[in-house]
Structure 1
Amino acid sequence: MLERIRNQMPQLSAAERRVAQSLLDRPNDFIQAAVADIARDVGVSQPTVIRFARSVGCTGLQDLKLKLAGSLVGGIPYVHASVGPKDSTAVLAAKVFDNAISALLNCRNAVSPASLDQAIRLLAGARRLEFYGLGNSGIIAADAQHKFFRYGTPAVAYADPHIQAMAATLLGPQDVLVAISNSGRTNELLDAVDIALRGGCKVVAITSTGSPLARLASVALLADAQEDAEFFSPMLTRLLHLTLIDVLAVGVALRRGPELVALLEKTKRSLKSHRRRSES
């Protein structure tokens, strides 16, 4: 049901698309909400909510809720949305790999090349790079810092909201902040982003479509995985965010040219003495 709604988004009216986005953002809340509550939260009329339900192939709102609830049932809560308790090791491995491949392909086809190019240009020209993420996104921020510090640009990653808020006050027009969040709704991260923007810092967001973070950022790179992060571990989203970081890193390396390649070669040589030679 969720995939059907995503595919039909371009054919919906502007008001119906707002209802659809609200459903996709919080499907479990949508199931529990009354038509009046949905209409009020989205800012549309109650008949629009009903028309939306019919536009996606349902007889009415209650039919939509029933079908939506059915599509959300399955998997093992807090583990994985596709595997079942009786799946063999071979089956669960195939499902996890196939889901990851599908999510990566969908993201590749949906991500905006213009937004990627703008983000790469900002990162390549930055005086300082800072990567912010909380929880699982904090790990991705650390991975990004590990990639970019080797480029000779000062780069740090912060996963503590208090440090993020303090560090954001020191960022200026020559700096770039990369904010990473699946939901894009975490208050502390949004506050830090707002502080950085007020100081003239550019913000690149890696987040979901329609999130407050996406609307706030200077450039938004959108990664929408078909998983409910409230009930399942965000495996797919993590892979998409890590891959987008890789794309940015490669793009910046290409933009910086031969000088950066020489610097990367130098850092690579520094590791040789720490590795054992292979035995023939």
Structure 2
Amino acid sequence: MAIHNNILIKIRDMRDSLTPVEKLVADYVLANVEEVPHLSVKALAQLSKTSDASVLRFCKTMGYSGYRSFIVSISASLGSMEEEERDQYTDIRPGDDLSVIIANIALNNSKSIEDTLSVIDRKEVARAVEAIRSCNRLVLFGVGASGIVCRDAEQKFTRINKICHAYTDGHSQLTAATLLGKGDVAVFVSNSGSTADILDSLEIAKKNRAVTIAITKYNKSELADKSDIVLGISTPELTFRSGAMGSRIAMLTVVDMLFAGVASAEYKNVKKHLTKTHNVLAGKYRK
């Protein structure tokens, strides 16, 4: 699986949070990827019906210092285009043969992970691991499918003796956020980054000086803007039929990264705790 920063994925994910003029540039780039590396700033501005300044502003929004570095990144992304076109996300369709469904689900999940690797900031992952290692307790907030991700993290971190709890409904989230303090870490899981209950709890957690970590779609959102550390995922939810499957897999992968990062850094103690919990569970099932 290739690990690279694919600018085309970033443009796709950021599109909905761009200004109307930036969207014009983004849409032209996505529709004419192979042509764009050969265009000047002025040519791209004319073809996208914008201005030179708008194109340069778009490049900066996408994280580039100038047009040249943006074009170099577009060219680098073109190398994987043929494979990307063959391996597109596929939504649930009526009447598909089960063998087709199995293949599509496997492809969608693997592409969710690969696309997430294209956008996630490794430095932010490292900051999150350090924050979790040094915290007094770890508290996770998520609803629906995101709540399931929180429960998975709770199970993992509890097994290595980290004081950890997941809260998956609005009332308990508000209560838990109110009791947070300095030295605690609060992880907020939301694909959209705009879930009202999550944002309410985030505000309280920040007032109580807890370190806040967001696991959310790579996009501009209130959750991403207000959190101390942002771990971006990339996965389009194709329609209501896809049932948040892609985002769940991507979020679970980020949780695994955090858990493995903490476990690796504290391996001696972690191994002891895992051995103890494994033995007690194994003993239970032998009886």
- Which TM-score band (shorter chain)? 0.7 to 0.9
TM-score, structure 2 as length reference: 0.71
Letter in 2 for 1:260: V
2:283 matched to which residue of 1?
A: 273
CA 222–188 in structure 1, closer or farther in 2 if over 3 Å, else same: same
| Aligned Cα root-mean-square deviation (Å) | 2.7
Contact 2:121 2:231 survives alignment (8 Å) = yes
1:109 matched to which residue of 2?
A: 118
Contact 2:9 2:118 survives alignment (8 Å) = no
Is 1:242 aligned to 2:235, yes or no? Answer: no
Q: Which residue of the other structure, out of 86, 94, 103, is the alignment partner of 1:85?
A: 94
TM-score, structure 1 as length reference: 0.73
CA 261–173 in structure 1, closer or farther in 2 if over 3 Å, else same: same
SS in 1 for 2:251: helix
CA 52–102 in structure 1, closer or farther in 2 if over 3 Å, else same: closer
Contact 1:182 1:208 survives alignment (8 Å) = yes
* Matched residues, number: 228
State the distance in 1 between where 2:171 and 2:260 align. Answer: 31
Gaps of 5+ in 1: 11-16, 26-41, 62-79
State the distance in 1 between where 2:95 and 2:30 align. Answer: 33
Letter in 1 for 2:227: A
SS in 2 for 1:188: helix
State the distance in 1 between where 2:204 and 2:194 align. Answer: 16
- Cα displacement string for residues 38-81 of structure 1 (whole angstroms, at most 9, x for unaligned residues): xxxx6556xx66555545448889xxxxxxxxxxxxxxxxxx95
Q: Which residue of the other structure, out of 170, 194, 200, is the alignment partner of 1:185?
A: 194
Q: 1:143: how far off? A: 1.1
Q: 1:197: how far off? A: 0.8
CA 230–248 in structure 1, closer or farther in 2 if over 3 Å, else same: same
CA 22–57 in structure 1, closer or farther in 2 if over 3 Å, else same: closer
State the distance in 1 between where 2:205 and 2:286 align. Answer: 44
State the distance in 1 between where 2:132 and 2:95 align. Answer: 47
- Cα displacement string for residues 144-169 of structure 1 (whole angstroms, at most 9, x for unaligned residues): 11111122221111111111112111
1:143 matched to which residue of 2?
A: 152
Letter in 2 for 1:258: K
Letter in 1 for 2:107: D
Letter in 2 for 1:7: L
Q: 1:108: how far off? A: 2.1
Q: 1:135: how far off? A: 1.2
State the distance in 1 between where 2:183 and 2:106 align. Answer: 40
Q: 1:263: how far off? A: 1.7
Contact 1:131 1:179 survives alignment (8 Å) = yes
1:195 matched to which residue of 2?
A: 204
CA 142–229 in structure 1, closer or farther in 2 if over 3 Å, else same: farther
Q: Which residue of the other structure, out of 208, 212, 217, is the alignment partner of 1:208?
A: 217
Contact 2:15 2:23 survives alignment (8 Å) = no
Gaps of 5+ in 2: 1-5, 33-46, 50-88
Is 1:7 aligned to 2:8, yes or no? Answer: yes
1:21 matched to which residue of 2?
A: 14
SS in 2 for 1:206: strand
